[in-house]
Amino acid sequence: MTQHLSGRVTSGPSQRGNGAGVSEREDLANFISMITRDETPFISSIGKSKATAIYHEWQTDELQAPGNSRIAEGQDYVKPGSGDQTPATGADFDPVGPHRTRLGNYTQINGKTIAISGTKRAVDQAGVADEYAYQLKKRGTEMRRDIEMDIVNSANVSASFAAQTGSAARTTGGYNAWVNNVNNVVYAGTSAEAGSATAAHIPTSAEAGIGTFSWAPATTVANRASLALTDIDAAMQKIYEAGGKASRIMVSPKLRRDFSDLMVSDSGVRRNIDEGGKLRQSVDVYMSDFGDLMVVPNYIMGLETAGATVTATSNDSYKDASALIYDPQWFAMAALRPTQEVDVGQKGDSTVGMLIEEFSLEVKNPKGCGAVYNLK
């Protein structure tokens, strides 16, 4: 038999409890520790420039290939490089010459939104004087990391002219789009797999001067290979022969360890023990046949690509897949709109704002950079 107990149910404020400890304050430190890395090694290493339009352009020039410039005693002006004393014509007096080239890259817009309720701003919070200001700073750091990812660890290209109109989000051609345009690339493993063509990419007339080549790592794990000094040396040789001189090699944390392991495991490399008796196994500078390379780790190059499919045999992620070889002086972040806060104002009971940055990656000398791809 079920009994129903009648009575009044009252509601009221919750209680922490009674007795010992009820009057003790909580011990919550008045700070917040950010546990995520916030460095942007590539964009922090390069220069700054200014863009004045959504298609940012600059010029490069190069010397003619060495040839025959001998002339006979008392000879009139001859066609440069003819070698056969061919008389010069009007076109031969063009001071610009055939080697001056106009390059360009589209601007890209990055944005982050902040919305904080009135209550959240009014409540006394540990470690935060103003929640809106705190979130604004945090979103700014996140946006810089997003830009770093777009430039060094993606297939982002400077899209075609048609794709830059209307509501389509513009993308600036990242590092991988530019280095492939000059083919200073070495493919580790099996280079014949689709997405890893070894032939030089020749831009069409519509693409001329634009970082448009889209590189994708080999998706079959067996077709990738470990980092090897021979591949780095081969890429350095390509850069040297193209007229460039690289000074840095940027790799993921895993490849940074692999690089050091290569050096200490090589029978021809001595391990260095300093005066304090410490065994040094890391490598900070690699002295190649074509110049010294500072080894720079970039944790973003070790992050998994969003939406990637990774199995024991298949992997389409950019994680740990490349080593970028470059000189910072040949790159710049060209700002059309430097990072700025857009004050949206009050929307109901919330304060809303937005961070905006619009920039283009300026690659002053594409021939001065290279890469090793299809790593694992």
Query: Do residues 219 and 195 touch, judged by C-beta distance below 8 A?
Result: yes
DSSP string spanning 61-93? --PPPS------TTPPPB-TT-SS-PBP-GGGG
Average pLDDT over residues 84-112: 72
Q: What percent of the chain has pLDDT over 70?
A: 67
Give the sign of the dihedral formed by CA 162, CA 174, CA 171, CA 302.
positive
Q: What is the pLDDT of residue 43?
A: 93
Instruction: Flag whether pLDDT at 159 surpasses 80.
Output: no
Q: With bands split at pLDDT 50, 70 and 90, how would you rate the model's confidence at 268?
A: very low
Structural domains in the chain plus CATH codes = 41-56+101-373 (3.90.1690)
Q: What beta strand segments (E) does the chain contain?
A: 47-50, 55-60, 101-106, 108-117, 185-187, 248-251, 272-273, 279-280, 285-288, 291-297, 322-326, 331-347, 350-363, 370-373
Instruction: Out of 45-49, 66-70, 189-193, pick the least confident.
Output: 189-193
pLDDT of residue 343 exceeding 70: yes
**Which pLDDT band holds residue 233 (cuts at 50, 70, 90)?**
very high
Contacts of range 69-72, beta carbons closer than 8 Å, 24 or more positions apart: none
Over pLDDT 90: what percentage of the chain?
24
Write down the pTM of the prediction: 0.78
